[in-house]
Amino acid sequence: MLQLQGNLLRQSLLTSAILSAAIALGGCSPKIAIETPKEPITINLNVKIEHEILIKVDKQIDTLFNEESDLF
């Protein structure tokens, strides 16, 4: 009878230890949350675009266009 009570006591202690461990580990589960930011996302683009188009016409071609305007 004493042996039966000892086995029963060990079994209940083991059961309560497993149950306590399961509850403790269940509380440690990681939480993943996707949230929108509180402030809007701002993108600052400081871009300076400069271009120059230079057309140089040779003086001879320029005079040819002026003299013979019926080329085109």
Mean pLDDT of 6-31: 78
Residue range 27-70, pLDDT digits in tens: 666 778 888 888 998 888 888 888 777 667 677 777 777 776 66
Mean pLDDT of 14-21: 86
Cβ-count burial 49-68 (b if 16+ within 10 Å, e if not): eeeeeeeeeeeeeeeeeeee
The pLDDT of residue 1 is above 70: no
pTM: 0.34
Mean pLDDT of 21-25: 76
The pLDDT of residue 6 is above 80: no
Cβ contact 65:71 at 8 Å: yes
Lookup: tokens for 11? 């079994």
